[in-house]
Amino acid sequence: MTGRLMLLDTASLYFRAYFGVPDSVRAPDGTPVNAVRGLLDFIDRLVKDHRPEQLVACMDADWRPQWRVDLIPTYKAHRVAEEHEGAPDEEEVPDTLSPQVPVIEAVLDALGIARVGVEPYEADDVIGTFTAHAKGPVDIVTGDRDLYQLVDDARGIRVLYPLKGVGTLQLTDEAVLREKYGVDGRGYADLALLRGDPSDGLPGVAGIGEKTAAKLLAEFGDLAGIMAAVDDPTAKLTPSQRKRLDESRPYVAVAPKVVRVADDVPLPDVDTALPHTPRDAAALEELAGRWGLGGSLQRLLTTLAARP
């Protein structure tokens, strides 16, 4: 298929739904289902507004892969709720959100919306690999700016970044990136690496903020060019920049593998086509009744059925 592919950073979206929809939205037994219903409303709006032919809900099979932690031990360390020997660490998640995740997964499966998570990878890596293999345009829906690195005008790859719900999306292309950050998609990973990201436990290079990183990338092209300039006494670096970049070599040597999303995840063979009718109508009916999915599910079913 070569039609528009939409890739959902599912955890990013259900976290937003959880915090954006009141927890007074509950199942008949009183269990909060605000994240479930909010995500269904998100998907309904996305399908209506952007008309993808294919859609994949990409999942975190491992939200903090050990191979990334081995390279940068602080990676997402502040988000660990409980460590597990020989298994993925448990992420700190609100008490009333955790029980909703299996419901979300069951509803997506009954609808027939492709859902893909692969160990030991994050959803970002699944998204990066689907994007690398795509034959047509790709819309990546995420509240995580890390995925800006995949933006590529020539291939029709853009990021739909929710500013408020999913009714207000920033359609992020290379022009937006250049205006906001002074780089294109390819340069964004280097910018993020240099700048650092406290939310992911990435230290960055001391003294190199976003604006300085953008200036260095404009001057020297990419991370390799910047590090080559450190060894070139004629290069236009301040003594402070040269010293700090030189001291950062151990970090710079390993950070690219951590910051850049993988594009070689072994993806399962899945049907990514958006369904017109549910894959398992009986299971969906049972889920709808048990969890009180009401209008949110009905609206999405109507939208899917009405697609050409």
- Mean pLDDT for all residues in the chain: 94
Q: What's the confidence (pLDDT) of residue 16?
A: 92
* Single pTM value for the model: 0.94
The answer, yes or no, to whether residue 2 has pLDDT greater than 70, is no
The predicted model gives 175-191 an average pLDDT of 96
**Tens-place pLDDT, residues 9-58:** 999 999 999 999 998 999 999 999 999 999 999 999 999 999 999 999 99
- What phi and psi, each to the nearest 5 degrees, are found at residue 127? -60, -45
Q: What's the confidence (pLDDT) of residue 90?
A: 74
Cα-based angle 161, 52, 2 (whole degrees, multiple of 5): 115
Give the residue among 101, 97, 114, 38 at the shortest CA–CA distance from 296. Answer: 38
DSSP 8-state secondary structure symbol assigned to residue 8: E
Q: Give residue 94's pLDDT band: very low, low, confident or very high (50, 70, 90).
A: confident
- Cα–Cα distance between 113 and 40 in angstroms, integer? 11
Specify the pairing of strand 114-116 against strand 138-141. Answer: unpaired
Q: Which amino acid is at 186?
A: R
- Cα–Cα distance between 38 and 23 in angstroms, integer? 11
The predicted model gives 125-129 an average pLDDT of 98
The predicted model gives 233-259 an average pLDDT of 95
- Cα–Cα distance between 307 and 254 in angstroms, integer? 46
Share of the chain above pLDDT 90, in %: 89
Specify the pairing of strand 5-9 against strand 54-58. Answer: parallel
The answer, yes or no, to whether residue 1 has pLDDT greater than 60, is no
Q: Give residue 146's pLDDT band: very low, low, confident or very high (50, 70, 90).
A: very high
The tokens describing 192, both together, are 């993020």
